[in-house]
Amino acid sequence: MLVFKFGGASVKDAQGVINLGNVVSTYSGNEILVVVSAMGKTTNALEKLTDAYFNGADDLHEIFEEIKNYHYQIAHELFGDGHPVFDEIANTFVEIDWAIEDEPHDDYDFIYDQIVSIGELVSTRIVNAWFNHKGITSKWLDVRGYIHTDNTYREGVVDWDKTRASIQKDIPAMLNKGIVVTQGFLGGTSENFTTTLGREGSDYTASIFAACLGAESVTTWKDVPGILNADPKFFADTIKFDELSYQEAIEMTYYGASVIHPKTIKPLQNANIPLLVKPFTHPDAPGTVIKENAVNKFEKPVIIIKQKQVLLSISANDYSFISESHLSEIFGLFARYHVKMNMMQTSALSFTACIDYTADRFEKLLQSLKETFKVRYNNELTLITLRHYTDAAVAELTAGKTILMKQTNRNTAQVVLR
């Protein structure tokens, strides 16, 4: 039994959906569960729509129409006119129509999940319809009834016992009858509200299903030849890893390597299921395999770049030392607002942390911190992390830049730059 995950880039247009079908067809004879992300940049567009709704923007309906037209155009190119999938798409988008008719709920994260989740629901309707159109027997599955989470919107925490029971009860019988197509990124609460598992969380979805079903492997199909030592959008001389250990992959994703969601590896490691990262444009290429006891070879440092960073400096109002009780309070606030620290440093009088900038969460954190502490910050910064670094590589990447914070240990160097 195989689990395939296809990201947004692989289904950004009609040709991408056709290619997806061709890739899956080459594995005929296997039981396959297919996890699909939202199409192209749909998640970004739905985030824009959510902001417009929450803030009462005038272009709300214009944004929504663009999103709908994008999906209808793909469906038209695939099926022509009159196919039942058009009704399925329309019925799915109605959920947004209902949501934006009402006054905004005061919990932004709740609104976000109810609206942004529609991207995956629509993309899987189209992919499932294409499979059946081409004679590939498949069934559409609403993942929200199988991956059960708590009510932490945008960062849903999986109830593994309940999730495992649901998946093992129904999915094996479905796989005996054909391919199962479901959504990445999404979960459901006990009150039947939608949650998301964190940005780019479709990889995590695939690993949850694989771990619960005892899959032979998970393959995540990307627009790159495998896992590279750096993002090819920023670096021309990247190299591909043939294999990586679970431990190294976890370290890379922890520091922000975007090719895999950070939570993906642990369920696979626990079940000893390999993860393959392969190019959807060349499905026969070997890609990269992540597995136990892999041989890690690092001819060049692994370079991870995170932009839109904020550097927070927090100190006590009375110039007292930053004590354990201060740190406990600070960490509690970061946890309350689900703000991840990418890098941190403590001195006698201050605690400094580098974080991703998410407007609503940052503002809430900032206001709460200011109730007890003095807070200064710099924004629009870049965090560069080098795994298996060399001093020469660090010097090259920081040349001509203003370094605001730097840390090194045996294997990793991190630098915050302006």
* pLDDT per position as a tens digit, 13-28: 999 999 999 999 999 9
pLDDT of residue 258: 80
Average pLDDT (273-291) is 96
Kindly state the percentage of the chain with pLDDT values over 90. Answer: 93
pLDDT of residue 262: 87
Which of 230-234, 259-263, 304-308 comes out lowest in average pLDDT?
Answer: 259-263
The model's pTM: 0.93
Give the model's confidence band at 259: pLDDT under 50 very low, under 70 low, under 90 confident, else very high.
confident
pLDDT of residue 66: 98
Give the model's confidence band at 171: pLDDT under 50 very low, under 70 low, under 90 confident, else very high.
very high
CA atoms within 13 A on the CB side of 356: 12
Domains located in the chain, CATH noted: 2-291 (3.40.1160.10), 302-417 (3.30.2130.10)
Closest among 119, 106, 111 to 36, alpha carbons compared: 119
Q: Retrieve residue 58's tokens.
A: 């005038």
Q: What angle do CA 8, 12, 16 make, to 5 degrees?
A: 105
Decide: 349 and 376 in contact? Cβ < 8 Å. Answer: no
Averaged pLDDT score across all residues of the chain:
96
Average pLDDT (260-265) is 91
Which of 82-86, 246-250, 254-258, 322-326 comes out lowest in average pLDDT?
Answer: 254-258
**What digits encode the pLDDT tens for the residues 103-153?**
887 799 999 999 999 999 999 999 999 999 999 999 999 999 999 999 999
